[in-house]
Structure 1
């Protein structure tokens, strides 16, 4: 069994020739340093054999209980004596606890039974029980039933009386018509007088009916509101108590940075797009690691986070795979906590510039197809202006309209269709909308799949915690359909053709990697698989109807791999 000390500083045995990183890991996009890999392997070795806690990660088919995979983090640190070691942490709770042997503590322990949060939670549970009892009381249910019955009777009687009034009016109109020539003027006027009295009589009946039932219903509604008053008062109190608890919790999460400065969650998030911290903020592995390191005079050297367990149904998560920190919760927190540290630059902001002119695969007087290089933007980003669009604007200074008909992920290479005028753009855009344009991608998969062809239908939406990553979501996701056909499978790598029916963000990458898709990520996929020298995905062929010649054209650009 792997020894895992109850002490939180775990010694790290390394080759003396292994050099330390010059800068700390940029947590949102990184390749783990060798030291982090060693620490992660040591922790994983412990997780494979440990008997200190019981948690169903979904790795043992015989284990019972809810399957919950977990993100773990390791931080390589140096103590005041110059010794190297690592800290370990988990995101959220582990085995329903914040306090697990060998792992750093949470920044604030909401599970402390003597703390204000658990007491407040207990009070909230009591209030919920009181509300539930009152809402299901026989007195309230009878009042609701009587009100519904009264409204139903009123509706029935009103409908019946209106039908009778309509019928009687029709009969009176017939009498006026038929009796005009049968009676003398005095008798006919008397008839009209009687008919008018009948009409007035029915209108009075209608008025009395409405007044009676409206008064009756109002009394029943007032009675119901009296019964609801204590429920509504409890709900207001519950809302205020919950808000107060949430505010106090946010204030308890006091985060340190390497300068010794401290900020709470509210202060950290106040200038972000979401001033109210998302649920679970501060509970991820990375903030716990930083907090413990700073509190105990340990110098952060490098960090990495990995997934342990079965993949969740929505996200792409692979057992033992390294992943970046989440953005919505951790980016503001770690942005503060890393102040004063010498941190690696964001690699995304150092995208390939590609100074040479782009390769034009096909061009005529109306349109062209360009070969976009991998790691090059289709359109300008927040911090990078160089892109296919800007190069096309320079290449076609007299063109009108948006130029690009579609986009490719920055990491994907291949064909992009460009229109030289707004008129041509609109005609081609119509083909995209109608899905009459056919696209073929070629990719290399990091593994071998059982089927040689098929269709993947997994709806996608953006992962709000980790933009621009996508989630499989049957409730809010947009339809995403991909057809595929295997070309070859050699040496554990599959060459495959993808034929996307829809064009969602990261569609091919998620459909390849997801557990409900092909379960085999594209080689080099740094978001859903393992980073390599490039993402092996290329838009190889495009078939469309030329908007001028009306002929079907297929343009091909062979993959560079």
Structure 2
């Protein structure tokens, strides 16, 4: 039985249908017809229903958001419609009325998953019980107490020997200056040397005794730790084996009518967790199962953002490279598929840069939005602030940018006209001796008036160049902010970055632990718009030539 095909009303005209299937990895967003289908699903979600009798409210709970997808299809009779799907489970369920089912064989999975997960949980419980056992905790505590006791004894001996050394040194100096017969002096000095050797011998005896005490306890604890690690390894091995068996319940079809085991598509590595459970594979598999021709795909996020950030309700996202990169190209084999389009900066009219300041040491530029700071790869990305500066100042070695602004950000940039000046200015940026002020409009009402955002960031390895919040592996990122104005559903904010991470202000604005309000026009962390409303408005630093503290400003053009 076909799952949830919705026919377009009215049917699209011939010119509204793409000639080739748009790449699911397209960075410029989905085709207009797929957007039309997505708008219909988003309207239902906005109204509060995932499906009849299934509320959308849990999606708005922290961590409850999810990726949804739609696939425009053509029936054998020529009518156009769309299927819908969600990634992973929804409310703990694989199947929800009106949405595509999972790709795996449900009966085969049930035979494997229930007993397999019970075995993994049992092993996990054994490992946790052993971790908390009196035998292991007592052995760890005993060795830790012994180590603490020995540390105190070692420090006490060190202090005592240090006092003895000072006393001997003072006595040596007294003996060397005293009027004594030489034999008596030598005998007294020899006695002091013997005391020194006695302290060294005491240290050797103590170290040997401490090592013996450790040796009496350490082997027993080591045996217990080996047992603990063996239980952990066993649990991981059984879990990996279970995952392989679960992956073997997936048979992946393509548009030619061929099928391939899921694991074969990821050889030589194993499929990542959740592979083939994204919305895209579910949609394509369902279309194939019912003889529907795939036409265009769109995936969008709905609900609360994930803990790492990087997703905004209602925004479209390309398919993930890690999970779907090896999978979707195979599933689309047999269809005419357009190559993925990458974002290309807008073409700026050639000409002079807008100079804010120029002297023998440096240049301050007001960078327009959409112009790269430095050239990218390829001829289409050759135009940049740096390229234009080097055309203006052709003398070797040419200007050097001290810092950069994102392609989408406008505002003040500083370039040095000599390597020595560049080094001096970069040192100021490195040591946070440069005061920076940005201004932005954010999409939302920010209730507080000011604050500090501390969210470590790293690149999203599955979705470059997006950055995500990672409290464990992320690099420190600090931003002070202050509200300047509130107007309707938007807030004008001044940002004062204390660090200079990639996309720092954009992520700190959008993340729920930051402002929870993406910058207006942010195509990566919010919603597309004519431009990103973020501008580097002011810079203050010590001039490397004069030594004076200087400030440059250029008001935002919005």
> Smaller-chain TM-score range?
0.7 to 0.9
Change (3 A) 1:438 1:358: farther
Change (3 A) 1:474 1:141: closer
Residue number in structure 1 paired with 2:478: 480
Alignment of 1:326-475 (within 5 A): 326-354=320-348, 356-362=350-356, 363-383=358-378, 385-388=381-384, 389-400=386-397, 403-447=400-444, 449-450=446-447, 454-462=450-458, 463-475=460-472
In 2, Cα distance between equivalents of 1:551 and 1:172: 57
1:303 counterpart (297, 303, 320): 297
SS of the counterpart of 1:304?
strand
Change (3 A) 1:370 1:263: farther
TM-score of the superposed pair, with normalisation by structure 2? 0.78
Are residue 8 (structure 1) and residue 9 (structure 2) matched? no
In 1, Cα distance between equivalents of 2:66 and 2:469: 18
Residue number in structure 2 paired with 1:78: 74
Cα deviation, 1:393-424, whole Å, max 9, x if unaligned, reads 34433232671111111122333222221122
**Cα RMSD between the aligned structures?**
4.7
SS of the counterpart of 1:300?
strand
Change (3 A) 1:41 1:172: closer
Deviation at 1:125? 1.9
Alignment of 1:35-434 (within 5 A): 35-47=33-45, 48-49=48-49, 50=51, 52-53=53-54, 57=58, 59=60, 68-108=64-104, 114-140=110-136, 218=215, 220-224=217-221, 231-250=228-247, 252-260=249-257, 267-269=264-266, 275=269, 277-354=271-348, 356-362=350-356, 363-383=358-378, 385-388=381-384, 389-400=386-397, 403-434=400-431
Deviation at 1:352? 2.7
In 1, Cα distance between equivalents of 2:208 and 2:476: 51
In 2, Cα distance between equivalents of 1:20 and 1:386: 34
In 1, Cα distance between equivalents of 2:461 and 2:417: 36
Are residue 536 (structure 1) and residue 533 (structure 2) matched? yes
Cα deviation, 1:52-105, whole Å, max 9, x if unaligned, reads 447752548xxxxx7512221111111222222211111121111222222212
In 2, Cα distance between equivalents of 1:166 and 1:539: 59
Cα deviation, 1:259-280, whole Å, max 9, x if unaligned, reads 4455555554558xxx554433
Change (3 A) 1:548 1:133: closer
Q: Do the aligned residues in 2 keep the contact of 1:487 with 1:497 (CA within 8 Å)?
A: no
Change (3 A) 1:426 1:95: same
In 2, Cα distance between equivalents of 1:560 and 1:445: 15
In 2, Cα distance between equivalents of 1:84 and 1:213: 81
In 1, Cα distance between equivalents of 2:524 and 2:81: 28
Residue number in structure 1 paired with 2:180: none
Cα deviation, 1:124-164, whole Å, max 9, x if unaligned, reads 22222333444444555555566667777888899999999
Deviation at 1:469? 1.9
Deviation at 1:309? 2.1
Paired residues in the alignment total 541
Q: Do the aligned residues in 1 keep the contact of 2:72 with 2:296 (CA within 8 Å)?
A: yes
Gaps of 5+ in 2: 176-182
SS of the counterpart of 2:118?
helix
Residue number in structure 2 paired with 1:182: none
SS of the counterpart of 2:117?
helix
SS of the counterpart of 2:327?
helix
Cα deviation, 1:282-309, whole Å, max 9, x if unaligned, reads 3221222223223433222222222222
In 2, Cα distance between equivalents of 1:168 and 1:441: 63
Deviation at 1:461? 0.7
Worse-matched range after superposition: 538-547 or 262-271: 262-271
TM-score of the superposed pair, with normalisation by structure 1? 0.77
Gaps of 5+ in 1: 1-5, 61-65, 179-184
Deviation at 1:505? 1.9
In 2, Cα distance between equivalents of 1:359 and 1:31: 31
In 1, Cα distance between equivalents of 2:59 and 2:485: 33
Q: Do the aligned residues in 2 keep the contact of 1:545 with 1:551 (CA within 8 Å)?
A: yes
In 1, Cα distance between equivalents of 2:332 and 2:437: 44
SS of the counterpart of 1:322?
coil
Cα deviation, 1:304-336, whole Å, max 9, x if unaligned, reads 222222334441544333333334333443344
Q: Do the aligned residues in 1 keep the contact of 2:29 with 2:318 (CA within 8 Å)?
A: no
Deviation at 1:428? 2.2
Residue number in structure 1 paired with 2:499: 502
1:524 counterpart (511, 521, 525): 521
Q: Do the aligned residues in 2 keep the contact of 1:523 with 1:535 (CA within 8 Å)?
A: yes
Change (3 A) 1:370 1:23: farther
Worse-matched range after superposition: 371-380 or 202-211: 202-211
In 2, Cα distance between equivalents of 1:171 and 1:433: 49
SS of the counterpart of 2:58?
coil
Change (3 A) 1:99 1:169: same
Q: Do the aligned residues in 1 keep the contact of 2:477 with 2:498 (CA within 8 Å)?
A: no
SS of the counterpart of 1:520?
coil
In 2, Cα distance between equivalents of 1:70 and 1:171: 74
In 2, Cα distance between equivalents of 1:554 and 1:428: 14
Q: Do the aligned residues in 2 keep the contact of 1:317 with 1:528 (CA within 8 Å)?
A: yes
Change (3 A) 1:410 1:223: closer
In 1, Cα distance between equivalents of 2:434 and 2:152: 58
Q: Do the aligned residues in 1 keep the contact of 2:6 with 2:83 (CA within 8 Å)?
A: no
Change (3 A) 1:234 1:556: closer
Q: Do the aligned residues in 2 keep the contact of 1:414 with 1:557 (CA within 8 Å)?
A: yes
